[in-house]
Amino acid sequence: YTNRSPYPTLHLIREDSIAKAAEAFPNASAIFDRNIALLEKMGHEGWDKLDIPRCPFPHHKPSENK
């Protein structure tokens, strides 16, 4: 869940924007680690309690990915 979007997404990112972000957050991998640890602590029950809109596409059912 930490590396996906609830909706199909296309990111257009300029290389200089990435460079600026890397300078602003030199330890960016800590963000990923913290997010993963939080979701593992929450578990499926905690994730289900969040008020997150479901994908409007009927063929995509995130709840089946548990």
Q: How confident is the model at residue 53 (pLDDT cuts 50, 70, 90)?
A: low
Domain range for 34: 15-65
Residue 31: HSE in the Cβ half-sphere, 13 Å Cα cutoff: 9
- Examine residue 42 and state whether it is found in any structural domain, yes or no: yes
- Examine residue 3 and state whether it is found in any structural domain, yes or no: no
Distance CA 28, CA 10 (A): 21
Residue 36: HSE in the Cβ half-sphere, 13 Å Cα cutoff: 6
What pLDDT shows up at residue 55? 61
Residue 63, pLDDT > 60, answer no
For residues 14 and 22, the answer to whether their CB atoms sit within 8 Å is no
- Examine residue 51 and state whether it is found in any structural domain, yes or no: yes
User: How many folded domains does the chain comprise?
Assistant: 1
- Examine residue 39 and state whether it is found in any structural domain, yes or no: yes
- Give this prediction's pTM: 0.51
> Which one is predicted more confidently, 66 or 38?
38
